[in-house]
Amino acid sequence: MTELELAGQVVELVRRLGGPGAQAEAVVTRADLALTRFANSGIHQNVSESTVGVRLRVNVDGRTATGGGSVVTADGLVALVERTLTAARLCPPDPGWPGLTPPTPTPDAPPVDEATAHAEPDQRADRVGAFVAAAGGLSTAGYCRTAHRSSAFANSAGHSAYGRSVEAAMDGIARRDGADGVARRSADRLSDLDGAELGAQAAAKAQAAADPVELPPGHYEVVFEPAAVADLLQNLSWYGFNGKRYAERQSFAEPGAAQFDRAVTLVDDPLGGSGLPFDAEGTGRRALTLVEAGTTRAVAHDRRTAAEAGTESTGHAVAGGATWGPMARNLRLSGAAAGPASATGRSTTGAAAGAVVDVDTAALVAGVRRGLLVTDLWYTRVLDPKSLVVTGLTRNGVWLIEDGTVVRAVRDLRFTESYPRALGPGAVLGLGARAVRQPERVDGAWWAAPSLRLASWHFTGGASG
Amino acid sequence: MTEFDAATAAVQAALDAGARYADARVMHRRYESMTARNGDVEELTQDESIGLGVRALVGASWGFHAVPDLSDAAARDAGRRATRTAMASARVPGPPVDLVPVQAVTASWASGCQVDPLGVPLSDKGDLLVDATRTMTKHGADLAEGLYQIWDTAKWFVSSEGHRIDQRIRECGGGISATSIGDGETQRRSWPSYRGQYGTTGWELVESLDLAAHAAQIAEESRALLTAPQCPAGETDLILGGEQLALQIHESVGHAIELDRILGWEAAFAGTSWLDLAQLGSLRYGSELMNITIDPTIPGALGSFGFDDEGSPAVKRDAVRDGRWVGVLAGRDSAAMASLDYGGSVRADGWARLPMVRMTNVGLEPGPHTLDEIIAATDDGVLMDLNRSWSIDDKRLNFQFGCEVGWEIKKGRRGRMLRNPTYTGIGPLFWRSMDMLSNETISWGTPNCGKGQPGQIGHTGHPAAPARFRNVRVGVSA
C-alpha cells in the first residue's frame, strides 16, 4: 500500500469511528536512513533503519489530540485511530484550534537523486576511506549519511499531498596533537560529496591549529566560517523567527524594523535543496524572506500561530509544533552581491591552504587589522530568549588575525553575545560570495551561509579558565 | 511469533550470514505527553512504536539495522543487512574488537510502579496542568506552562551468547514553569525543576510534586525577578541547590567519565574527555568530599534498569572516591579496548538506535550538613538554584551555567533575590573547591540527554544535594 493510500485510510477510519464531525489529518512517512560513523580513522558505528511512521491529529467537538505509531497493519491503524479519538474526547477544549488545511495545490519539489535514495553501505564507506586517506596520517573522525523519505499527507477536508526527499551529508574532523580541523557539507546527491576534498580541508586546518596560544577575553572583530554562521542561523530561527515565540513576546523580531545590518538578507528556502513540498499540516512549502537588506520582514507560522496573528500559515508546521512553535529549518544567508575584493589570503601557520581554506574567507581575513578567524561554534545555549543572548565556545580551530594575515592558532574561547545585536546595523563588515550548505543533526534541515565578518564579538573567557 | 522469536531469528540470520557475534532487541514503547499553557491544554500526544534492532560483529567491524516489522522474514532480513553493513565497515577498519565476558542469563526485570501513569484518566491529568497554569496566570505570569511525560517500555533482548532477557521500565514525571516578560528580557521560575522531575516510577511521582501548591509562588517570583538586582560579577563563594548540582554532575563528571568519549569515539560530535586512562585510580578529580557513584540499582531513579542493552546486569560502582577518579561508564567493547573488566552502561533510546555508552544514575554521595548550615557558615556569597542554561566545552572542562534565581548570602543569612545569575569554571578546579556538602539528597531525573549520531535522547538520574564551592567566578554577561 502506498503512503498516500495509508494516509487516506487513516483519515477514513477517523470518519468511520469518530463520526462526520471529527476532523483529521494524517502523515505517513517511509524512511531509509543510514549513517556510517568513523573515529580514530576507522569505521566504528555503521547503522541503517527502514522505518514507517504514522502521525495523526484529530479534533473532535473542539478537543484536539495527536497520536503516532509504527504499526501500519489494519489492526494497528484501527488501534491508533481509536486511542487518538478517545484521547481527544477526554481532553479539555482547544480554543486555539485553527482548522484543517483546505484543498490546495502542492508546489513542485526538486527531483530526488535515486542513487542517493538507494545508496549502499559500501558507497558511504568509500567516502569515509577517502576522507581518512586525504588526512595524511592525522587521526580522523566523523560521519557520512544518506536519507530518503517518502511522505504523504491527507486530511478530512479533502486535501492531500505527496513528496519524496533525499539528502546526503558528511562531517569530519582531523586531529593533530589535540588540535582539530573540520570540514562539513550537506548535499542533494551523495555523488556531490567528495571525501578526499573534505578530508584534505580538515587536515589542513588541523595542521594550522597546532600549538595554540591563550588570548585574554574581550571584544574582538571576527571572521566566522560557514560552520560557525550556521549556529547563528539556527538560533535566530528557533528563537527569533518562530511565530509562537513572536506571539508570546519572547522574540526580538519586529517585522518592518531595520534590526540587522543592511548586508543581512535571510531567506528560508525549503525547496532550495531536495525537500518535502509540504509541512506537517499539509501546507505547501515555499521560500519565505525573513530579513531583507537588514529589515525584518516576517516570522514563520503554522496554522495555529497564523490564526493567532491574523495571517496565513507560511508552511512551517512541525510535529510537536503546538508546544515548540513553527520552525524555519532551511535558512540561507545571502552572500555578497559582488565577489570578494581579493581572491587570495595569506597564512603563516602552515603549508597548503592552512587555516584559510577558501577564497571568500581569505578575502574577509585580508581586511582585518586585528581579530579572530573562527571555524565553528559549540554547545551554544540561550541565556535569554528575547534578547537572544547566547553563550557557547569556539571549536575546531580559532586563529589570531593581524594586519590581514593569520598569524597564530588560538586556544578555544567562551563567548556570551546577543546574536541580533552582533548582526545589527553597522555590525557586518563583510560577507563571502558563496553560501555553503551545512547539515543539521537531522536530515531535512540545513543552514546555508557564506563566511561572515563582524565588527565585534564578546569573548568572556578562555577555555582553560 | 513472539518478540523473543523475532529477536532470535534476527540473531541467527546474522550468524548465518557470517557474523561472529550478534544481538537483537525488540522494543515496544508507549509514550504520552501533555503540555498546558495559560489555563488550556496545548498539546496531547500519544505514540506507540514497536520494532527490532539487530547488531552484528564481523571481524573487527560492527553493523546495525532496524525495522518496525517483527515477522520472521523481516527479522531475518534485518540480521542479514546488519551483517552486510558490518562487512562494509571493514573497508575502513578500526582496531580489533573484543567483548568483556558477561554471564549469559535468562531473566525478567520490571521497575517499580504504584499507580500506572497511562491508567490515570486523561481528564485528571489535564485538570492538574490546567489548574496549575491557571493559578500561575492569576499570580502574574505572562506564560504559565505545565508538562508531564510518560514512557512505558518493554524490551526483549537476545544474544548469540545465550542471553534472553525481558524488561519493563515505566518512567514518568512533569513540572510547571512561570515566565514573566519585561522590557527586553524574560525571567522564569520552575517547579520542581526546569522541565520537571522524572523517575522510573508510576504516577505517584507526579502526585508527590504537588504542582498546584507551588504555582502561585513561582509566578510571583518570576515577576519579582524582572526588577531584582543583577547578579554581581566577580569571584565569590557559591552555594548550589541540589537541582543545579545534579546538572553540574551530569555535564562535568557524567559525560567526562564515558569511556567511548575517553577513547575518542565521540570526538567529531559529542567530543572527547579531559580524562586520561593512564591516570585512572590516581587522578585527583575534586575535594575529598567528592564521592561519585554509578548506580543503576537505585529504586525509582531515572537511570535505573535491571540489565543494560548489552545484557550486562545493573551493578553499583564507584566513579570518584574521596576525590580520586576510579571508574568509568563502559560497554563491553569499549571496556575490552581499555583493558577494563566491566561494562554495564550501554543503552539505546529506541529499537531503531544503536546501543551506546550512556549515564545510568551518576550521583554525589551526601555530606554531613544541611543547606541552612551551609548558608549560616558563609560570610559572603551567592546561592543559585534551578538551571536556566548550560554549556560546556568538548573536553568537559570549561563550563558556564545560568540559573533561574540567585540570592545574596551575607553574614550567614539569605538576602536579596538576584536575577540572571551565572557561574563559570573549569571542572576539576571547581570540584576541588567544594568544601561543604549537604545531606539533603534527591535523585534528579534528566530526560533529555543528547548524544550520538543519529541522535539519541537518554534518560539519566543524578542524586545530588546542595553544596558550597569557594572562589567561583559569577555574573558573566553579554
Ranges of each domain in chain B: 3-226, 234-474
Domains of chain A from N-terminus onward: 3-208 (3.30.2290.10), 218-461 (no CATH)
B340-399 residues touching A, CB cutoff 8 A:
352-354, 356, 388-394, 397-398
Q: What is the mean pLDDT of chain B?
A: 97
The tens digit of pLDDT for each residue in A326-375 reads 999 999 999 987 544 433 334 444 333 589 989 999 999 999 999 999 99
Residue with grid cell 543524578, as numbered in its chain: B462
B142 and A248 within 8 Å at the Cβ level: the answer is yes
What does the pLDDT look like over B45-87, one tens digit per residue? 999 999 999 999 999 999 999 999 999 999 999 999 999 999 9
Report which residue type is found at A405.
T
Provide the phi-psi class of A249: left if phi over 0, else alpha when psi is between -120 and 50, else beta.
left
Cα A313 to Cα A278: distance, rounded to the nearest angstrom = 12
Across chain A, mean pLDDT equals 94
Flag if B45 and A66 touch (Cβ within 8 Å).
yes
| A461/B424 Cβ within 8 A | yes
Q: CB-CB: which of B41, B44, B63 is closest to A46?
A: B63
Point out the residues of chain A with pLDDT beneath 50: 339-352
Contacts of B426 in chain A (CB under 8 A): 464-465
The neighbouring-strand residues paired with A29 are: A53, A151
A122 touching B (Cβ < 8 Å): yes
Helices B3-16 and B72-89: crossing angle in degrees, nearest 10, is 40
Percent helix, strand, coil in chain B (nearest 5)? 25, 40, 35
User: How much is the pLDDT for A344?
Assistant: 37
Express each pLDDT in B277-319 by its tens digit.
999 999 999 999 999 999 999 999 999 999 999 999 999 999 9
Chain A to chain B Cβ contacts (< 8 Å): 277
Mutation for B interface: A44, A82, A251, most B CBs within 10 A: A44
Contact residues for B208 (Cβ-Cβ < 8 A; gap 6+): none
Residues 131-190 of A with CB under 8 A from B: 132, 139, 141-143, 145, 171-173, 175, 180, 182
CA distance A300 to A311: 11
Task: Determine whether the interchain pair B453/A386 forms a contact, defined as Cβ–Cβ distance below 8 Å.
Answer: no
Chain B CB contacts of A39 under 8 Å are 94, 263-268
Query: Which pairing describes strands B164-181 and B106-110: parallel, antiparallel, or unpaired?
Result: parallel
Which of 309-328 (A) contact B at CB < 8 A? Answer: 320, 322-323
The three state secondary structure string of chain A is CCHHHHHHHHHHHHHHHHCCCCEEEEEEEEEEEEEEEEECCEEEEEEEEEEEEEEEEEEECCEEEEEEECCCCHHHHHHHHHHHHHHHHHCCCCCCCCCCCCCCCCCCCCCCCHHHHCCCHHHHHHHHHHHHHHCCCCEEEEEEEEEEEEEEEEECCCCEEEEEEEEEEEEEEEEECCEEEEEEEEECCHHHCCHHHHHHHHHHHHHHCCCCECCCCEEEEEEECHHHHHHHHHHHHHHHCEHHHHHCCCCCCCCCCECCCCCCCEEECCCCCCCCCECCCCCECCCEEEEECCEECCCECCHHHHHHHCCCCCCCCCCCHHHHCCCCCEEEECCCCCCCCCCCCEECCCCCCCCCCCHHHHHHHHCCCEEEEEEEEEEEEEEECCCCEEEEEEEEEEEEEECCEEEEEECCEEEEEEHHHHCCCCCEEEECCCCEEEECCCCCCEEEECCEEEEEEEEEEECCC
Considering only CB atoms, B50 lies closest to which of A70, A124, A383, namely A70
CA distance A380 to A391: 5
Contacts of B122 in chain A (CB under 8 A): 87, 90-91
Cβ–Cβ of A172/B268 closer than 8 Å?
yes
Across the interface, of B91, B184, B476, the residue whose CB is closest to A460 is B476
A86: phi then psi, degrees, rounded to nearest 5 = -60, -45
pLDDT at residue number A341: 42
Nearest chain B residue to A181 by CA: give it: B268
**Chain A contacts of B67, Cβ < 8 Å?**
49-51
A120 shares contact with chain B (CB less than 8 Å): yes
Report CA-CA distances (Å) from B133 to A87, A126, B74, B356: 21, 54, 47, 38
User: CB of A344 within 8 Å of any CB in chain B?
Assistant: no
Residue B288 forms contact with A (CB below 8 Å): no
* A91, A381, A392 ranked by CB distance to B122: nearest: A91
Q: Decide: B6 and B157 in contact? Cβ < 8 Å.
A: no
A384: contact with B, CB 8 A cutoff: yes
Nearest CA distance, B94 vs chain A (angstrom): 4
Q: Block means of pLDDT (10 residues each) for chain B, length 478 residues?
A: 97 98 98 95 94 98 98 98 98 96 96 97 94 98 98 98 98 98 94 94 98 98 98 97 98 98 97 98 98 98 98 98 98 98 97 98 98 98 97 96 98 97 97 98 97 97 98 94
CA distance A47 to chain B (A): 5
Domain B3-226 CATH (choose: 3.30.2290.10, 3.30.420.130, 3.40.109.10, 3.40.50.620) = 3.30.2290.10
- Distance from B444 to chain A by nearest Cα, in Å? 21
- Write down the pLDDT at residue A338: 56
pLDDT, position A342: 38
Interface list for B 415-434 with A (CB within 8 A):
420, 422, 424-426, 429
